[in-house]
Amino acid sequence: MTTDYKPNELLICLASRLMQDNTTAFIGTGIPMLAASLAQKVHAPNLITIFEFGGTGAILEKLPLAVGDMRTYNRALHAGGICDIMESAQRGFVEYGFLGGAQIDCYGNLNSTVIGNQEKPKVRLPGSGGGNDVGSLCWRTIMIMPHDTKRFVENVDFITTPGFLTGPGSREEAGLPDNTGPYRVVTSLGVMDFEEKSKRMRLISVNPGVTVDDVIKNTGFELLVADNVTENDPPSAKELRILREEVDKDKLYI
């Protein structure tokens, strides 16, 4: 068992393990890029990466700095543009979307726009970019973020990216495709899914050294807890070696 790892390295490995071979995944800047590269090198060689500015199916031999980096087109299946990518998602061709945010609520609604009142905010954030499209149109959305009560809140200050909105049936009422929406939330404390009937966030596994109570105390809303909460495996020696020596050898993120 490997114990010498950084918190970000665990997050990257947990996200990477969710990326299945022979699937399509919309990849954002930062941890999703590292997770996708790690997945391609460890267990998902046929993962088709999709980047907002048009790269589809790139082989991430060297880590891109952003979603418009030329390396997002490296040995790609297709070099298109942002409109091509969003249309592909709208047509149902993108299975997974990876997102982050400043706030999230129990239904998986994400805020990356503003903290506080929109007219006189405490903080202005980057905004949606492709975040709304990803959360609206990809089949399964996976959120990756730190876990504390400032981020996991009862009500987000602004819905940048729709989760299950106000609960069962509300996505469909808003005109979003059936059977799409939040799938997993990967955090510094554990992994959550969304209970099928209520559409509320539910704890399914904790990170090494973390208890269920730790997660509950750091969540600003009533968190459902699965009957059998498991413990996530720490990064393996192989994952860490590839992550450090091949994926992020220039230490851009870890």
- The pLDDT tens digits of the residues spanning 20-35 come to 999 999 998 888 889 9
CA distance 133 to 27: 13
**C-alpha radius of gyration, the chain, whole number:** 18
Domain 7-247 has CATH 3.40.50.720: no
Nearest to 229 by CA among 247, 205, 252: 205
Q: Which tops the pLDDT comparison, 194 or 72?
A: 194
pLDDT at 221: 98
205 to 73, 78, 126, 132, 230: CA distances (angstroms):
35, 37, 30, 27, 5
**What is the band of 129 on the pLDDT scale with cuts at 50, 70, 90?**
confident
**What is the band of 63 on the pLDDT scale with cuts at 50, 70, 90?**
confident
What is the share, in percent, of the chain residues with pLDDT greater than 70? 99
Q: Catalytic positions, please?
A: 52
**What is the band of 3 on the pLDDT scale with cuts at 50, 70, 90?**
low
pLDDT at 118: 82
What does the block give as tokens for 196? 């099928």
**What is the band of 64 on the pLDDT scale with cuts at 50, 70, 90?**
confident
pLDDT at 62: 85
- The pLDDT tens digits of the residues spanning 184-225 come to 999 999 999 999 999 999 999 999 999 999 999 999 999 999
> Which residue ranges make up each domain of the chain?
7-247
Burial category of 253 from C-beta neighbours within 10 Å (exposed 0-12, middle 13-18, buried 19 and up): middle
* Other beta carbons less than 10 A from residue 225's beta carbon: 14
Q: Is the torsion defined by CA of 126, 130, 135, 141 positive or negative?
A: negative
SS3 69: coil
Mean pLDDT, residues 238-244: 95
